[in-house]
Amino acid sequence: GQQLNQSPQSMFIQEGEDVSMNCTSSSIFNTWLWYKQDPGEGPVLLIALYKAGELTSNGRLTAQFGITRKDSFLNISASIPSDVGIYFCAGLSNAGNNRKLIWGLGTSLAVNP
Amino acid sequence: DAGVIQSPRHEVTEMGQEVTLRCKLISGHNSLFWYRQTMMRGLELLIYFNNNVPIDDSGMPEDRFSAKMPNASFSTLKIQPSEPRDSAVYFCASREGNSYGYTFGSGTRLTVV
């Protein structure tokens, strides 16, 4: 099925560093969501974006909805060990009658204390 | 609220056996989604229900998979007969109204040997 292109696939960083990851699509989306999945758990919603150009923060996390509506990025500032996990982007299109979330394959983040 | 509750957390079964996965929604949520997660394919939507009615089952792999929602708070996903390629983590998620934030359960890790 349709998927988003999420990059990078994995990152290994030092504690305190900033992190940036992004998602791109060939299709337009009306909503972008960013989730985090801890080991052994289900994904948890971090940030939701509803308008092109929107920039939203949640603590050390900042996400933006691209102007073209075909991309989004997530930044994490001053990373800490508990940021470890898999980060997923998901897009929602209003095209047709089937409003399903389309998911990226995730960015796996490892933080070295 | 206890969140979305899935059982069992782990299931190991032999090929050919029937497997039933269970999900209890958050009270007041009216949409239910079953996902399968693998390393190769990421999160795949299998089926979703709205107000107990199946809306889209196009992601169900084949006739061996079936899902039911007998009431507003409970759903089952059944695989009969199970095959090794069904091994994955199965998540259910619920949603309130038309909100975009899905709440995921902790998943069932299924291993078919």
| A-chain residues near B88 (CB < 8 A) | none
Give the per-residue pLDDT at A98: 56
* DSSP character string of A16-85: T--EEEEEE-SS--SEEEEEEE-TTS--EEEEEE-STT-EEEETTEEEEE-TTSSEEEEEE-S--GGG-E
pLDDT averaged over 10-residue windows placed end to end, chain A, 113 residues: 84 96 93 94 94 94 95 97 96 68 93 93
Give the per-residue pLDDT at B87: 97
pLDDT in tens, B46-99: 999 999 999 989 999 889 999 999 999 999 999 999 999 999 999 999 988 777
| Contact across the interface for B59 and A1, Cβ inside 8 Å | yes
Give the per-residue pLDDT at A43: 96
Task: Name the average pLDDT for chain B.
Answer: 93
Give the per-residue pLDDT at A6: 95
| B-chain residues near A103 (CB < 8 A) | 42-43
How many angstroms separate the CA of residue B59 from the nearest CA in chain A? 9
